[in-house]
Structure 1
Amino acid sequence: MQVLFVEDDPMNWRVVKDMLTIAGVDMAEAEDAETGLRMIDESHYDVVLMDLRMPGMDGLSAIRCIRARADAKATIPIIVITADTAIDLRERSLAAGADQVLQKPVAMNALFDALGEAIDNEGHVIL
């Protein structure tokens, strides 16, 4: 499984990458939304993990860009991972096209459950 984590904090990359390595999952990192969108253009990912607050384009805008694509990549599962605690965060994320929303610090079992659901919904093997 190939996962792209769009996140501007390298410490968060390391934490999530360590969790995914335990499950044998490969993870690529993008330091901002624009880079993440470019990486999606250039490579295949099974799941995108998306932070919401980043310099430049925010995560919700990036999700909308992915969902507006005219190819199969428009349906890639997107899991928001955020420290944002706004009351309407979940609703806004889902309305933008996210499949799930996780709060930071993300627990390993929550991450694995979300990945399993995302992949299962796409008809792939569950973690």
Structure 2
Amino acid sequence: MKLIVPVYGDKRIAEGFNKTTDVCIYDPLASEAKNVCKFVPWRTIIPPGSKITKKMKEIGIAGVLTSQIQLLALNLFVESGIHVYRSEGDDLERNLSLYRDQKLMPFTSKEALENSSICSGACDTCITDDQCKTSK
């Protein structure tokens, strides 16, 4: 089962797809080591305006690994049969190892609700990466 992971570079898991432009497409069944974790800009595989879950299924992605997720995104993935796993910290290699060993926990609705105040970056009114001009 392929997994998509929002990443910073090739070592750290990002807080979500809205925090980075890059993802790791992890394929534990890849025959060549270079293809086990392929790093690409996520908009090249899921273009703007496309149906994200449909595109993910077309390329064989059946799971998401992230440290944070909004409830609506979690529901979209789960309703489409895509598993969403909560990372343990931001070390990519460690979390991929946990995934291979089936030791990662799925995100719950309660955990996603705790992320409800996370800025999506869509309003374009940020003072800094961590502080929004508009009140939540």
Normalised by the length of structure 1, the TM-score is 0.39
> Which of the pair is proportionally richer in strand?
2
> Which of the pair is proportionally richer in helix?
1
Normalised by the length of structure 2, the TM-score is 0.37
Rg comparison, structure with higher value? 2
